[in-house]
Amino acid sequence: MAKRILYITYDGLTDPLGQSQVLPYLLALSQKAIEFHILSFEKKENYESQKDVITSTIRDSPIVWHPQVYHRHPPIISTMFDLWWMTYQAKALHRKHVFDGTWCRSYIPALVGLALKRKSNVPFIFDMRGFWPDERVEGGSWPQTNPVFRTVYRYFKKKEKQLLAEADHVVVLTNKASQLLKTRSLHNNPIPKQISTIPCCVDMDLFDPAKVTVAQKNSVRNELGIAPSDAVLVYAGSLGTWYMMQEMLQYFGELKKAKQGWKFLFLTRDSPVSLLQDARLTGLTESDVLIKSCSRREMPVYLSIANMAISFIQPVFSKQASSPTKLAEYMSMGLVTACNSGVGDVDLLMRDAYSGVVDPASFSTSNLDKLAKEGIRSIAERNFSLERGLKTYSSVLESF
């Protein structure tokens, strides 16, 4: 008889991360005699544009989707309402379907998993992702000068201790995060009963440079107005909060000084207004910066025209638990990547990929051709392949 698992996520399946970091795992694991029920919270604009894509993707699988409405406003109150509704829905679904376990993506869903365990003895996975309460503080979303946000932070840090103590299994994204938990270095939290490290993985069958034709590359370059002689620096993903946009633009400016003919391509769905303002402040023109919104399935073609990729992230404490999805996708496409140290396991990956270079933010056109580009994709396969993540998740679910 198939195991029945409730997967709870406050992210939407129609969000880019839902399509890259949730569905591929669940579709593959559902082939192992597991019936998944997905309780997700969908943003209106994404749901309207992508719901048919999700429905079509899961149509022939033993996956049942229970989409709910995500509320943005007012702050805190909307999240409290969504948490109450998530708990209500999870309990109702359990009464109807009787789950063997819950798999909770990040803190708010994990509170629901904890409630189900305490009420109905349903085991749960705390798929921790990052150190979310600390991320909210360090990213400026919960300023500790505000007594309301200070109370919210303390509440979640108290709950964090309970989640780590009572979860049947904790999953983190980086070895650095695992080490912090095992040594009680995350604010003296209890050591989890079981802990596994699974980074943000990538579908290497989709992100495969060998599958992109010359005709596709030429078509994309023509679409974007990139001359055959132009070199391309690419950035993929959201633009806000953690990403050091001014530093990345300055880095691009140094590339241009060393060698004319570079274009900076941003693959993002975010509004370009602030990006273009920052570009002008850095001395760049609008012709230097190209902005394209593309689907996940289109992403490999656009990445394939790049000579190099970039990802600068603020190296704060909470980012030790982060595994940038974009890095996995860049490396899967065989791209040399400029990134800063102090973020998750990036230092070790960069040392592995570039023969001793710990901080590739020092890359320049003068040494770019000397880097050990061969084997970048194989390093991605060893660290970020979907198969690697599936093997660990499968082992975790077998314990239910």
Per-residue confidence (pLDDT) for residue 371, from 0 to 100: 58
CA distances from 231 to 11, 254, 262, 363, 398 (A): 35, 14, 5, 15, 48
Per DSSP, which regions of 31-94 are E strands? 34-42, 63-69
Residue with tokens 């999870």: 90
ω before 143 within 30° of 0 (cis)? no
Per-residue confidence (pLDDT) for residue 333, from 0 to 100: 94
Per-residue confidence (pLDDT) for residue 258, from 0 to 100: 80
Is the domain 3-199+385-398 a CATH 3.40.50.2000 member? Answer: yes
Per-residue confidence (pLDDT) for residue 295, from 0 to 100: 86
Distance of CA 208 to the CA centre of its chain: 19
Are both 3-199+385-398 and 209-384 of the same fold?
A: yes
Delimit the domains of the chain by residue range: 3-199+385-398, 209-384
Per-residue confidence (pLDDT) for residue 173, from 0 to 100: 96
Q: 3-state class of 319 per DSSP?
A: helix
Is the domain 209-384 a CATH 3.40.50.1010 member? Answer: no
Residue 218 CA to residue 8 CA, distance in Å, equals: 42
**Residue segments in the chain with a per-residue pLDDT below the cut of 70:** 1, 354-374
Per-residue confidence (pLDDT) for residue 242, from 0 to 100: 86
Model confidence over 84-127: pLDDT tens digits?
999 999 999 999 999 999 999 999 999 999 999 999 999 999 99
Per-residue confidence (pLDDT) for residue 234, from 0 to 100: 97
Per-residue confidence (pLDDT) for residue 351, from 0 to 100: 76
Q: 3-state class of 74 per DSSP?
A: coil
